[in-house]
Amino acid sequence: MVETAATPPAAVVRDVRWDDFHDLTQIYYHLYDERARGEPIGITLFEEPPGLSDEVEWFARLYRDVLAGHQITSVAEVDGHVVGNCSIRCHGPNALAETAHVAILGIIVDAPFRGRGIGEALMRHAIGRARGKFEVIRLTVFSVNERAQRLYRKLGFVHVGHQPRAIRRGERYFDEEEMVLLLDPLPARAAKH
């Protein structure tokens, strides 16, 4: 009898919910483990993992911004657990700022689930929700993360800048690339007099 590898379960991509806090926090803490193993993870971290109370503050702020319409957060769920998220948040301080049409994208997929198309599904969902809300989506990516850069280009992002030694991790430096995706222009707001 020939054994075949089990097909990984499909991810369900949806908007973030309040009860996703625990899974999202665990994914974030796993990044510290990856960094400790010397893996060049593509996200900047604090020197030490934040405490649980800090994570509660972060998630409450994220969820409040989602409810207020200042942020879009998509999550991927496999077997009832969130395994990744993609957030697109307003760059400006509020919806009336001159930079409110610009958004910043961040994405994390837990290590065991990378390379399965989950990141692409997350980004497509979040970008779809960002249309009509933002005109420009910006992101930065470690220069060594070529796989992520290929995905971003596939989704329409273009390279607009390079920052040498943007990240210092111990004695090692990482350069960053800045990329943008241009969406349709938003209707002009009426000027207030």
Q: Distance between CA 108 and CA 86 in Å, rounded? A: 7
Residue/partner pairs of 40-49 with CB below 8 Å, 24 or more apart: 40/142, 40/144, 40/145, 40/174, 42/141, 42/142, 42/144, 42/145, 42/148, 43/106, 43/108, 44/167
pLDDT band at 42, cuts 50/70/90?
Answer: confident
The total number of structural domains in the chain stands at: 1
| C-alpha torsion angle, residues 25, 64, 119, 171 (rounded to 10) | -60
The answer to whether residue 193 is domain-embedded is no
Six-digit token pair at 38? 């010397």
The answer to whether residue 144 is domain-embedded is yes
pLDDT digits (tens, 9 = 90+) for 74-131: 999 999 999 999 999 998 776 677 888 999 999 999 999 999 999 999 999 999 999 9
Give the CA distances from residue 3 to residues 6, 8, 114, 126, in Å, rounded to whole numbers and listed in that order. 9, 15, 23, 37
The answer to whether residue 2 is domain-embedded is no
The answer to whether residue 113 is domain-embedded is yes
The answer to whether residue 126 is domain-embedded is yes
pLDDT band at 8, cuts 50/70/90?
Answer: low
Residue 63 structural domain: 12-182
What CATH number is given to the structural domain containing 22?
A: 3.40.630.30
Its pTM stands at 0.87
Six-digit token pair at 146? 């070529």
β-strand partners of 72: 88
Q: What are phi and psi of 106, to 5 degrees?
A: -135, 145
The answer to whether residue 5 is domain-embedded is no
pLDDT of residue 185: 85
Where is 128: in which H helix or E strand? helix 118-130
pLDDT of residue 2: 44
Task: Please enumerate in sequence order all residues whose Cβ is within 8 A of that of 114, keeping only pairs 6 or more positions apart, or say none.
Answer: none
Average pLDDT score over residue span 148-172:
94
Q: What are phi and psi of 4, to 5 degrees?
A: -115, 150
Where is 124: in which H helix or E strand? helix 118-130
pLDDT band at 38, cuts 50/70/90?
Answer: confident
- What's the whole-number average pLDDT of the chain? 90
